[in-house]
């Protein structure tokens, strides 16, 4: 296991849609060691998640975990989840509409920049875990937002692409100084309402 370099915006691999992993590949010592590296790198960087192409491998694997993260203290906990070949589907409410939430996001591959992104509140995620076991789960709220962010990476999409109001772009320093308190208050109320 080792910590790998996280590539940053401008590196071509971040714009390359990742390919599915075959069952034989997933069972291989090489891919299992890669997954360990992905987890170690995510934890070392205090990330809420990390996709394989962020460390230079365009394969459909991501790791997601939120514990007591100093970068995101308002995020609900997510146990370590390794997703392989994930497929994400937004879920509509009883009225057929898709509830959305505005989240101020940052990214380990976009150092020192944040911006507001609209994310689906409810999503269904189908994936294999690192042992090849199939999962079919519903994610809500900020947890759903975290899954959408990481799975975007696997499609070659960065949060920058989803920011529609470019006046929300801010450095981490200025976010902390001018915007964090209002965002945390709003998003904490949202988490209390949706439960995750």
The C-alpha atoms of residue 134 and residue 18 are separated, in whole angstroms, by: 19
Cα dihedral 63→64→68→71 (10° resolution): 90
* Largest interatomic CA distance in the chain: 50
The C-alpha atoms of residue 110 and residue 140 are separated, in whole angstroms, by: 25
* Structure tokens, 9: 């915006």
Pairing, β 110-120 against β 100-107: antiparallel
Which one from 25, 89, 102, 150 is the annotated catalytic residue?
150
Cα 133 to Cα 23, 26, 103, 128, 186, distances in angstroms: 10, 11, 31, 5, 37
Instruction: Note if 5 is an active site residue.
Output: no
Q: Would you please indicate which residues are annotated as catalytic (active-site) residues?
A: 150
């Amino acid at each position: 296991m080792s910590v790998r370099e996280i590539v940053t915006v401008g590196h071509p691999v971040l714009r390359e849609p990742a390919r599915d992993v075959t069952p034989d590949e997933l069972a291989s010592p090489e891919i299992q060691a890669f997954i360990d590296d992905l987890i170690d790198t995510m934890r070392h960087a205090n990330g809420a998640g990390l996709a394989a192409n962020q460390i230079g491998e365009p394969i459909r694997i991501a790791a997601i975990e939120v514990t007591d993260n100093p970068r995101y203290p308002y995020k609900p906990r997510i146990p370590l989840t390794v997703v392989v070949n994930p497929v994400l589907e937004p879920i509509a409410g009883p009225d057929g509409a898709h509830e959305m939430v505005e989240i101020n996001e940052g990214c380990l591959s976009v150092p020192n920049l944040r911006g507001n992104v609209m994310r689906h509140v409810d999503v269904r995620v189908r994936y294999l875990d690192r042992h090849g076991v199939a999962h079919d789960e519903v994610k809500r709220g900020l947890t759903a937002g975290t899954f959408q962010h990481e799975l975007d990476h696997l499609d070659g999409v960065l949060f920058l692409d989803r920011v529609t109001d470019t006046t929300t772009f801010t450095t981490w320093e200025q976010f902390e100084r001018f915007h964090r308190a209002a965002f945390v208050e709003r998003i904490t109320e949202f988490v209390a309402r949706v439960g995750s």
